[in-house]
Every structure is written in C-alpha cells, then in structure tokens.
A = this chain, B = another copy of it.
C-alpha cells in the first residue's frame, strides 16, 4: 500500500462522510473518494445517487471515477487510489480496471454483489489488462453499521 495505516484510516473517514451525505438524501449510504498517490490530495468524491437520478450507473465509485477523469483530463487514473465504504459490484470493479486505478481500499464486504472477493474477484483476474492492489476491511464495522441502520429504518417506516 502506498499510504500509511493512519492515512488510510483518514481517507476512509472521508469516504464514510460521503456515505453519510447519500444517507441524508435517502440513498443507500455508500461513499467513495479518489486520492492522487503522488500529492495525497483528494481529487474526487462520490456518493450513491441511484434513486434520485433514477440512473442505474450512478454508484458512488462511478461518480468519483468520472469526476477524477474530468479533473485529471484523462481516462487513465494510473497514479490514484480509490477508497470506498462497500466492496465494489461488478460494474464498479470493471470501471476500476478500465480506469487503471492503482490501489483500491474498501470497507465492508458485500455478499450480494461484491466482486472484489465475495462473489468474484475481478481485480485479481490476470487475464484483464490491469490488476490494482486491494486492501479490504478498513473501518468495515462503521461502513456496515451505516448500511444496517439505513435498512432497519426503512423497514421500521413500512
């Protein structure tokens, strides 16, 4: 990993802050940030917008990747790290491969769609043309609690 454990925890706190923004808009609380590995600067943020936009693509990671491409002016995000509160789905894992992100750090596992260790491990598949480094389980309890409380609240209101 490029960043120290302290730095990784700090960055994951920022991804969790994005997840809380999604929650405040009644979206499933998942958040993401992308960091420039050379400067340490946060260059993009994203939080889940699927319901408000009614757009199947608008996961936190996709929003952050698009913002990072715009910021850098290139589809290649080679010297960046992506921090996300939940294990990426196949779409987002594929977007990470396509944008050549160097490192991926995620929080909680997703048994229903997770494709970076749970159902599949797309980021370890050497037949794709890019394999990022992966670290999982960072602040996973906090990320999982956010999701659990969100769905409990939805069931309570029904």
The binding surface of chain A is classed by DSSP as: loop
User: Quick check: A98 and B91 within 8 Å, CB to CB?
Assistant: yes
Residue A94 at the chain B interface, CB threshold 8 Å:
yes
CA A69 to CA B120, docked complex, whole Å: 27
Of all chain B residues, which has the CB nearest A130? Answer: B113
User: Quick check: B75 and A65 within 8 Å, CB to CB?
Assistant: no
Task: Pick the interface stretch among A35-43, A50-58, A145-153.
Answer: A50-58
Of all chain B residues, which has the CB nearest A112? Answer: B129
User: Quick check: A95 and B57 within 8 Å, CB to CB?
Assistant: yes
User: Quick check: B89 and A91 within 8 Å, CB to CB?
Assistant: no
> Shortest beta-carbon distance, A37 to chain B, in Å?
17
User: Quick check: B91 and A95 within 8 Å, CB to CB?
Assistant: yes
User: Quick check: A74 and B94 within 8 Å, CB to CB?
Assistant: no
User: Quick check: A57 and B65 within 8 Å, CB to CB?
Assistant: yes
* Chain A interface bracket (under 10, 10 to 19, 20 to 34, 35 or more): 35 or more
CA A28 to CA B66, docked complex, whole Å: 20
Residue A3 at the chain B interface, CB threshold 8 Å:
no
**Chain A 71-102 residues near chain B, CB threshold 8 A:** 73-77, 89-95, 97-100
Residue A119 at the chain B interface, CB threshold 8 Å:
yes
Residue A26 at the chain B interface, CB threshold 8 Å:
no
Residue A122 at the chain B interface, CB threshold 8 Å:
yes
Residue A22 at the chain B interface, CB threshold 8 Å:
no
Known: A57-B57, A57-B69, A90-B128. 7 other contacts (CB 8 A): A51-B75, A53-B69, A56-B99, A58-B75, A90-B94, A90-B115, A93-B94
